[in-house]
Amino acid sequence: MTKTNKTSDQSIHLWLKNALGRKDKTAFKYKKKGQWVEKTNYNYLQLITHLQGVIKEHKVTAGGKVGVMSATRWEWAATDVATLAMGAILVPIYPNLTDEDVIYILDHSEADVLFVDNKKTHAQFERVKTKIQKPIKCVVFDELDMDSGYVGDGAIQVMIENAAQVKLEDPATIIYTSGTTGRPKGVLLLHYALISEIYEAFSLFQISHEDISLAFLPFAHVMGRVEHWGALFRGSQVAYAESIELLKRNLGEIKPTYLVAVPRIFEKIYSGIAALVETNPLKKKLFDQTLSLAKKIAYYRDTKQAAPVVSALAYEGLSKLVLGPIRQAFGGRLRFAISGGAPLSPDLGQFFSYLGIRIFEGYGLTETFAAITVNTETHWEPGTVGRPIGDVEIKFAADGEILVRSHKCLKEYYKNPEATAAAIDKDGFFATGDIGEFTANGYLKITDRKKDLIKTAGGKYVAPQKLEGLLKQEPIVSQVFICGDQRKFISALITVESLPVDATAEQKNEVLQKIKTQVQKVNSQLASFETIKKFEVLFEVWSVENGCLTPSMKVKRKFIENRYAHIIDDMYGNGGGGD
């Protein structure tokens, strides 16, 4: 396990000072009136200083709370830096949360001011503000005159010098976990957690000011914020995507050299590729041939052997012809991607590695300020989430639960001593709720969520994540929900990808046959007690908006169980369901 004692030498003050040292280099890009606008590090520091002034206008001081309820944009990142650099505490809020949750978070955190992105989000605030116990002002990013808000050298220097007063032991942020049931819990993280995470994670990758990422993850999720903090630390550039819907276009325009993403993005791209080649037998044959060659070349590369000349030349030609256009979908310059937030299928990771794009999977939680383990360019084992980073210590409870101790871990659940005591033991180890194990080479492998383990009526434990991952290897499958707790057998609800609302009976039947084939394929790899005896295909989309997914794109198990209780009961009754 890697150890480091350099984290305490790092600080927001140092990162801001270093940014000033590269003041003429590009810090970020964003789209305005159809054109990409570039801002240098000096511009960024000006904007941070200006936003800090706006925060202070609302009487916020060190220890105060600044809420941000906005889509991902550069102002979000600048407000984050401005808040933490003055010793205040940032409280992120997903814009698509229910009114009830927004009221709860603003009340529970006792936010002093709220920043929102536009008129729509502002209208949501106006709708609930009379129900918030503490009077709170709202600032709209779209209404801020940032162009006239530039400040001079003196003000920037004062902002940076004041950041030196912030201590590692000071609170940095309270992030409310979305959860699948009940009220969200406020995860209180210190500056030490932020500094430890960014320094120890981003030091593992070769990233410089020449590199650029395309930010599209929600900054209300901890993994999104890690991206912009990592760029400040390493001096790389960040381009802000216009939206998820325009991601494909933005990838082509920006041509990122690395990405921070979640598995769902790669699953959708893979589904698009698979659907394209399936329609043309000649394309499919050529594609399969190229992948087969790529697999051989990868073997020689990973075992540090020279590939046979004939294979190497054949691969070079086919790669340009077949895989080149696919790489161009990412802009053509992508060296690697960092994936987290949910399990990545090992087969999917291998597939993209054959394209020349390494996806380095990591593991962490909101409570650990993102990654505590990660695969890297020099240390990578497919099917795992990497080795522990920095000061991270990992051990396992008797039932296999992953326990972690690190400066990256939460200080406490805000105003919730009972939950804090239940999660952190007397030795400072945090119980993650995930089940895992180390491989022979010291890489962590996640096997399931502790609370999601299914116990059949026969007393057998089944890991739903394993089954869900196997089923989603079929490109047409979008989401999966495995049932069977205290039941006689395992069943599944399966949603499909990209089927039109007005799909014909013939189209639906074709989908059913594909899924039936995939279920049979999956069952052949499972123990008898794990096999899926019945399934139901749902021709509808699960989303954050309809309540089926959390904002971090995880299935809400209790919600799904209640919403589809009649379908689930039918699968265990006299009729209904596939078999």
Q: Is 2 a residue whose pLDDT tops 70?
A: no
- The pLDDT of residue 159 is 98
> What is the C-alpha to C-alpha distance for residues 393 and 1, in angstroms, rounded to an integer?
8
Residue 64: what residue type?
G
- CA 97 from centre of chain: 17
- Tens of pLDDT, residue by residue over 209-267, are 999 999 999 999 899 999 999 999 999 999 999 998 899 999 999 999 999 998 878 88
Phi, psi of 351 (to 5 degrees): -55, -50
202 sits in which H/E element? helix 191-202
- The pLDDT of residue 498 is 67
- Contact (CB, 8 A) for 454 and 431: no
Q: Is 180 a residue whose pLDDT tops 50?
A: no
> What is the C-alpha to C-alpha distance for residues 351 and 345, in angstroms, rounded to an integer?
10
Is 12 exposed, middle or buried (CB count within 10 Å of its CB: 0-12, 13-18, 19+)? buried
**Residue 45 confidence class, pLDDT cut points 50, 70, 90:** very high
Q: Is 69 a residue whose pLDDT tops 80?
A: yes
> What is the C-alpha to C-alpha distance for residues 342 and 363, in angstroms, rounded to an integer?
8
Q: Which two tokens stand for residue 369?
A: 């300020």
Q: Are strands 358-365 and 370-374 parallel, antiparallel or unpaired?
A: antiparallel
Q: Is 181 a residue whose pLDDT tops 60?
A: no
- The pLDDT of residue 501 is 65
- Contact (CB, 8 A) for 290 and 579: no
**Secondary-structure breakdown of the chain: helix, strand, coil percentages, each rounded to the nearest 5:** 40, 20, 35
> What is the C-alpha to C-alpha distance for residues 1 and 75, in angstroms, rounded to an integer?
38
**Residue 149 confidence class, pLDDT cut points 50, 70, 90:** low
pTM score of the predicted model: 0.84
Which domains does the chain show, CATH number per domain? Answer: 7-257 (3.40.50.12780), 265-332+334-450 (3.40.50.12780), 453-571 (3.30.300.30)
Exposure letters 144-158 (e unless 16+ CB within 10 A, then b)? bebeeeebeeebbee
Mean pLDDT estimate for the chain: 90
> What is the C-alpha to C-alpha distance for residues 263 and 22, in angstroms, rounded to an integer?
34
Mean pLDDT score, 290-310: 84
In a 3-state reduction of DSSP, which class is residue 137?
strand
- Tens of pLDDT, residue by residue over 383-419, are 899 999 999 999 999 999 999 999 999 999 999 999 9
CA separation, residue 467 to residues 424, 438, 543 (Å): 30, 21, 21
- The pLDDT of residue 148 is 62
Which of the residue ranges 8-22, 361-375, 395-409, 443-457 would you say has the lowest mean pLDDT? 443-457
> What is the C-alpha to C-alpha distance for residues 172 and 80, in angstroms, rounded to an integer?
10
Exposure letters 282-319 (e unless 16+ CB within 10 A, then b)? eeeeebeebbebbebbbeeeeeeeebeeeeeebbeebb
In a 3-state reduction of DSSP, which class is residue 439?
coil
Compare 165 and 267 and report the one with higher pLDDT. Answer: 165
**Residue 578 confidence class, pLDDT cut points 50, 70, 90:** very low
- The pLDDT of residue 575 is 42
**Residue 178 confidence class, pLDDT cut points 50, 70, 90:** low
CA separation, residue 164 to residues 59, 82, 265 (Å): 21, 13, 38
- The pLDDT of residue 108 is 97
> What is the C-alpha to C-alpha distance for residues 576 and 579, in angstroms, rounded to an integer?
9
- Tens of pLDDT, residue by residue over 459-503, are 777 888 889 888 988 888 889 999 998 888 999 999 987 666 677
- The pLDDT of residue 228 is 98
465 sits in which H/E element? helix 464-471
| 579 CB-near residues (< 8 Å, 6+ apart) | 533, 534, 535
Q: In 497-542, at which residue ranges do the beta strands (DSSP E only) sit?
A: 532-538
Phi, psi of 310 (to 5 degrees): -60, -45
- Of the CA atoms within 13 Å of residue 467, those in its CB half-sphere come to 30
Which of the residue ranges 30-34, 133-137, 210-214, 556-560 would you say has the lowest mean pLDDT? 556-560
In a 3-state reduction of DSSP, which class is residue 240?
strand
- The pLDDT of residue 579 is 42
How many residues would you count in the chain?
579
> What is the C-alpha to C-alpha distance for residues 305 and 457, in angstroms, rounded to an integer?
51
- Contact (CB, 8 A) for 556 and 549: yes
